[in-house]
Structure 1
């Protein structure tokens, strides 16, 4: 069994897109084989029609790997006619083991630095008070703000304010292209650690933050009035606004754990028109 400091580590993803998840799974497999991750869960968040290839790929992975598990929306819960992104909060009903650390990753996280999982999980265990401990997520507006503050990302590309939907950091396609180029350059010359932040950064309770990747504790969900049931049920607002305000503890960005998140929808035309995803795929294929 893979453990870090005596705790099981379960990496999970609201799953929907083979195109990018086929890159992420290479990193998750690497870290399972290194003994850092115990299980990988795909919480199936797909449409009933039009995503047959995506669904088939997840089933293939489950057949190939004993550590890869499919999780489905709990039965008997009708949230009405909501976009599928709103169903991801239901996944936490599976995350009530107080001895496990749960590592959430968007299905378009396309890079995990060698030390990202170990550093993030150890930070999570050292700091039990925050609801969520985040890595430095490339292509996350608030992380871009701190990367600029630490001199890692040029201000000349456009200043990013500490707001999760900042017009530059969240919606500007050319800025996202430059960010990915910067990170890929560092990956390709084995210099990612040069992009570490000088310190961990706290996020004031109530600060909305894009939850593309974070570590949380099973005990957090086990201790809820109904174990695993988030109120409100939207996971981003629960983890970054509601629960930090309720506890008074800031969430934390860990300075020495780096991952890359591919795209927010306003950036998509610019990123999809580039060769950057192919570069990420080539790097992952060499693992």
Structure 2
């Protein structure tokens, strides 16, 4: 718990390759008393992802704080891309006394202060739909990092657009971002990448939701039913529709850092590096 609020870290789960890194950081923060439960919302295909499914069940057997969550009973699988099924996950997140932390399953680094700082910001600022950390490899975050002099503009200028060609699709740029963070981690200087302040994200601005904090009290009081998002696409709801409905901007928190590994246009570049091995080594040391 943090400031008398339960903390649940959850992930739309699908990939053992990267989640096996994230879970080590989450285990560290469970053992530190910062996280109460970790949920894997199963968003896997029954064929072709057998190893991923087995791994999730192994974690559930190993750790009493790790739980598998599934699409709510009676809700058919979405006919579109399987990512659309994640919008149904919020029907599990209606405890008014809980802060929910969403992580993509390829978030591969959590700074040791990230969860505590993000949750405290979330509690202090109840109006935003979502409070985001500094997400390394997120286009809008990269824009703010450049504005604050943390990422060189010589690498390529990033505009404040979630699918900016440089910040979202450019593989060599993503490699440089990860190398920058890893250098700071290895030198013990991650805090040097903190932003000078929190930044509001204006209502209606689409933002890649690789990681954010939200409140169970918000989902509990939704007009179409507890946890029922309308529209049910989670990124659009959290960054466009609900902020426009409330008039409250989302917030980018300046003192919480996580790292998101890859958007699909970046895969060919990142998969030919040793970056994931370096992140895995750091994660293993987190619970050594």
TM-score normalised by the chain length of structure 1: 0.99
Match of 2:11 in 1: 13
CA distance in 2, matches of 1:25, 1:237: 27
DSSP 3-state at the match of 2:243 = helix
CA distance in 1, matches of 2:133, 2:145: 12
Change (3 A) 1:147 1:227: same
- Select 1:172's aligned residue among 156, 167, 170: 170
Kindly report which structure 2 residues correspond to 1:35-74, keeping only aligned pairs within 5 A, or say none.
35-74=33-72
DSSP 3-state at the match of 2:46 = coil
Q: CA deviation at 1:68?
A: 0.1
Q: CA deviation at 1:82?
A: 1.3
Match of 1:276 in 2: 275
CA distance in 2, matches of 1:211, 1:15: 14
Change (3 A) 1:269 1:66: same
CA distance in 2, matches of 1:84, 1:75: 17
Q: CA deviation at 1:48?
A: 1.5
Match of 1:245 in 2: 244
Match of 1:138 in 2: 136
| Residues 78 and 85 in structure 2, CA contact (< 8 A), matched pair in contact too | no
Structure 1 consecutive aligned stretches of length 4 or more whose deviation exceeds 4 Å: none
DSSP 3-state at the match of 1:50 = coil
CA distance in 2, matches of 1:53, 1:139: 27
Match of 1:91 in 2: 89
CA distance in 1, matches of 2:7, 2:78: 33
DSSP 3-state at the match of 1:153 = coil
Kindly report which structure 2 residues correspond to 1:1-287, keeping only aligned pairs within 5 A, or say none.
3-225=1-223, 226-287=225-286
CA distance in 1, matches of 2:77, 2:53: 22
Q: What's the C-alpha RMSD, in Å, of the aligned pairs?
A: 0.6
Gapped regions of structure 2 (runs ≥ 5): none
CA distance in 2, matches of 1:115, 1:77: 37
Kindly tell me the number of residue pairs found equivalent between the two proteins. 285
